[in-house]
Amino acid sequence: PELLKVNEIDKFYDNFHAVKNVSFTLEQGEIGCLLGPSGCGKTTLLRSIAGFEDIAAGSISIAERQVAGNKTVPPEKRSIGMVFQDYALFPHLTVKENIAFGIDSLLKKEQGNRIEELLQTVELLGEGDKYPHELSGGQQQRVALARALAPEPKLLLMDEPFSNLDVALRETLSTEIRKILKDRSITALMVTHNQNEAFAMADKVGILSSGTMQQWDTPHAVYHRP
Ligand code: ADP
Ligand code: ADP
């Protein structure tokens, strides 16, 4: 079934047309990557899906529920998790406390189990009592992933999650994260300007140019298009 449906959406910043009649869908468990040069509208599109930007036309549905269009659902009710490029971990909280932020509605005991499970998922068992500055960049980004996954969102949105990391680490981490998402059948949409990363991670690649979606297809089809 379709997990994300973006239907003919437009977004303006005053008179500037940042997203132009964009449509695409992601099936449950698929990973989509949005590619394109700086300023083409990737982040704006992601923020519109997250609910941080109002769209001027079209509609967005997550798990067959309309979240933008005739009806607007606020960001915290859209069942999304987000990972940004700068980790955005709380420096004065431990790894466990950072992750707990995503699930503070659970009872203490359930919380503990859930945190252990998430630490295991991102292969950081035993690092839970460390502070962010004691971890490497790759480890910090995996904590950010665990925190985003903690409330069990239906859709994970990632904005340039690897851009602060060096080239070797980017490759390892993108492979690791793809495996985590695939093992748990998590649907994700990731913004990147790195073509190799998009082609290695994605089930669907979207090519944006000046706010227009030029192509939305499998990496193979996009790559071999004449
Ligand atoms: P990308 O993520 O592909 O680099 P963005 O979505 O950040 O692109 O930006 C798309 C376009 O919208 C750019 O031309 C940018 O300058 C413009 N833009 C982004 N945010 C705002 C804003 N808050 N106000 C006005 N223009 C903006
Ligand atoms: P990863 O590949 O997952 O990012 P690394 O192999 O770089 O992990 O790091 C492994 C170990 O080195 C960890 O125990 C981590 O705490 C420590 N470490 C790595 N980078 C730093 C750093 N910049 N500051 C403190 N500790 C670090």
Task: Kindly report, residue by residue over 99-141, the tens digit of the pLDDT.
Answer: 998 786 666 778 888 899 999 988 899 999 999 999 988 899 8
Place of tokens 């659902």: 73
User: Which span out of 80-84, 151-155, 213-217 was modeled with the highest average pLDDT?
Assistant: 213-217
* 157 Cα–ligand 1 center, Å: 17
Residue 39 Cα to chain centre, angstroms: 19
Report the pLDDT value the prediction gives residue 87, as an integer from 0 to 100.
63
Amino acid at 167: V
Q: Which residues contact 136 (CB under 8 A, 6 or more apart)?
A: 169
End-to-end CA distance of the chain: 30
* Confidence band for 205, pLDDT divided at 50, 70 and 90: very high
CA 72/CA 78 separation, integer angstroms: 10
Q: Using the CB atoms, write b or e for 179-216: b if 16+ within 10 Å.
A: ebbeeeebbbbbbbebeebbeebbbbbbbbeebebeeb
Q: Is 88 left (phi over 0), alpha (psi -120 to 50) or beta?
A: left
Residue-level pLDDT at 220: 92
Mean pLDDT of the 167-171 span: 83
pLDDT classification of 223: cutoffs 50, 70, 90: confident
Q: What was the pLDDT predicted at 176?
A: 86
Ligand nearest to the CA of 14: 1
Mean pLDDT value across the chain: 92
Q: Could you tell me if the CB of 192 is within 6 A of ligand 1?
A: no
* Ligand 1 center to 44 CA (angstroms): 6
**Is the confidence at residue 81, as pLDDT, over 90?**
yes
Taking the centre of ligand 1 as the mean of its atom positions, its distance from the CA of residue 41, in whole angstroms, is 6
ipTM given for this complex: 0.71
Q: For residue range 31-80, what is the model confidence (pLDDT) as tens digits?
A: 999 999 999 999 999 999 999 999 999 999 999 999 999 999 999 999 99
Q: Whose CA is nearest to atom 6 of ligand 1?
A: 41
Query: Each residue of 207-220: pLDDT tens digit?
Result: 999 999 999 999 99
Give yes or no for residue 144 CB within 6 A of ligand 1.
Answer: no
Asked whether the beta carbons of 100 and 111 are under 8 A apart, the reply is: yes
Edge to edge, the sheet with strand 65-68 lists: 16-27, 2-13, 57-62, 65-68
Q: What percent of the chain has pLDDT over 70?
A: 96
Q: Give pLDDT, residue 226.
A: 63
Average of pLDDT values for 138-152? 90
Residues whose CB is less than 8 angstroms from the CB of residue 115 and which lie 6 or more positions away in sequence, other chains included: 96, 99, 100, 103, 128, 150
Position 90 pLDDT exceeds 70: yes
Percentage of the residues of the chain whose pLDDT score is greater than 90: 71
